[in-house]
Each structure stands twice: as structure tokens, then as C-alpha cells.
Amino acid sequence: GENVEQHPSTLSVQEGDSAVIKCTYSDSASNYFPWYKQELGKGPQLIIDIRSNVGEKKDQRIAVTLNKTAKHFSLHITETQPEDSAVYFCAAGDEYGGYNKLIFGAGTRLAVHP
């Protein structure tokens, strides 16, 4: 069945360092890959997404890369700040069918230490 694996489950970095979270997906029909950030006591919030017609997308300190052949996609956060501390989720879905059903990874708890 559909599956999204996410690594690592926890990540601890020093302020200013980079953080990388990796995901793999199983459904070859997936063409939409959003990343969500969940702060304590809140709902997940979209931070960036990528579609299968591009290999990389950047928005200030965050970037996503996609390798459709290998079914891998990654989130890169540069110059991390304490406010980046949260749980990050990757997800994969099919924009053309299935009414936007998303399969989520298990999450990565990122801690940025001052």
C-alpha cells in the first residue's frame, strides 16, 4: 500500500547549522509533496511544497529537492534558529486523482539549540 518513510525521527542541531530531513515514498502516482511544520499544541502548517515537474524549490532559508526516479524528497533548512524547533512532516499525494489524499511521514522532531 501507500507508504511514506521519514528520517530521522529526531534531529538536534546548533543554532546556525543546517538541518536535513529525508523522505521516501512508495506510490509512483504521487506528484505533490508538501512539508508541514507543527508547533506544540497547534495544527500542522504548510511551509513549502514541490510538484513532480520540478526538482528543487527554495523559499528563503528552506528548500526542497525531489528525485522522482529514486522516489526521494528532502527538506533543507539553513541557518537554523531556535524558532525552527518543531515537528516536521513530509507528505505525498496525487493531485490528479484521489481528491488530494495525502500520506504523511511519521514526523521529525527538530530541536535547535542556542
Partner 1 sequence: DTAVSQTPKYLVTQMGNDKSIKCEQNLGHDTMYWYKQDSKKFLKIMFSYNNKELIINETVPNRFSPKSPDKAHLNLHINSLELGDSAVYFCASSQVTPGLAGVGRTQYFGPGTRLTVL
Q: Which residues bind partner 1 (CB under 8 A)?
A: 31-32, 34, 36, 38, 41-46, 49, 51, 87, 89, 93, 95-104, 106-107, 109
Cis peptide bond N-terminal to 44, omega within 30:
no
Least distance from partner 1 to the Cβ atom of residue 90, Å: 11
Scanning the structure block, which residue is given the C-alpha cell 514526523? 107
| C-beta separation of 23 from 104 below 8 A | no
Least distance from partner 1 to the Cβ atom of residue 104, Å: 4
For partner 1, the closer CB: 49 or 72 = 49
Least distance from partner 1 to the Cβ atom of residue 35, Å: 11
Instruction: Quote the CA–CA distance of 35 and 44 in Å, as a whole number.
Output: 9
